[in-house]
Amino acid sequence: MSNTQDTPNHINGLIESLVTSQDGTAIGYQSMGQGPGLIVIHGALSSSKDLTKFAQELSDTFTVHIIDRRGRGISGPQGIEYSITKEVEDIQAVKETTGATYAFGHSYGGLVALETSHMFQPFTKIALYEPGVSISSLSINWDWISQYEEAMNKNDFREAFASFVRGAGHSPLTRMPKWYAKLILRVVIRGNSWFKIKELMPANLNEHKEVQRLESTYPNYKKINANVLLISGEKSPETIHQTIQVLDKAIPQTQTLTLPKLDHLAPCNEHSPVEVAMHVKRYFLG
């Protein structure tokens, strides 16, 4: 069960609301636009703010609800019993309150959307940009998880972040020595951008432990009865495109789309959200 926790606040043209998830955690989301309801679920190391431009491009056609997943933004903490099941309950709470029948998920948010869909079938259409599904035959080396956790225990956030970037497989830094990757990341990511990442790194660790735990459980998605659009960026690693192919075969009703010149972060504010939104809008309207 969920309930609206307070009166929505109007901030910068967005309507900010809270619902209470099943375990009592407050889950915040920001709404804009008019039309059919669409829940937007961000990835790891990000929050609702990172998908505002993407949402704005859709708001002339849909009522867009950008969720702050637990552990960031206006939502409550992940909690000591965190699992992706908690995230599923959070999406259900927002879905029950808003009545939205569409969903978009990016990266880990795509995994959350898939888990929600096979458990509860709440949506009629789902668009996913490079969902964070791990498949054993395509798997990265998960040793980076223990390296990340060890560095976090020593409060060496830069070391932990370098382990993540190299291990997650979305960056050319994957092929570089860690000392060099760490140096490059220190130069490129600093100031407010770094403080935001640093704050979310404990949550990021918990989330990727869930990705690892769910590795190769994708056959569960054959139960999904929604129509699913699977999007990838042309510049993303080959393992991403192979994962999309596996999901395309596993999920009963799918379409696939590869967007030229785009990479894993395309839906986010400083990348290519307008182009991604254009294709997502076309899909939902079609």
pLDDT at 1 over 50: no
Q: Which CATH superfamily is domain 9-135+216-285 in?
A: Alpha/Beta hydrolase fold, catalytic domain (3.40.50.1820)
pLDDT, one tens digit per residue, over 77-94 is: 999 999 999 999 999 999
pLDDT, one tens digit per residue, over 50-109 is: 999 999 999 999 999 999 999 999 999 999 999 999 999 999 999 999 999 999 999 999
CB 230 within 8 A of CB 244: yes
Q: How many residues does the chain have?
A: 286
DSSP letters spanning 16-51: EEEEE-TTS-EEEEEEEE-SSEEEEE--TT--GGGG
Query: Dihedral sign, CA of 89, 62, 71, 204?
Result: positive
Structural domain boundaries in the chain: 9-135+216-285, 140-213
The C-alpha atoms of residue 170 and residue 274 are separated, in whole angstroms, by 21
CB 103 within 8 A of CB 205: no
* Cα 200 from chain centre: 13
pLDDT, one tens digit per residue, over 129-171 is: 999 999 988 877 899 999 999 999 999 999 999 999 998 877 7
Predicted confidence at residue 12, as pLDDT, reads: 61
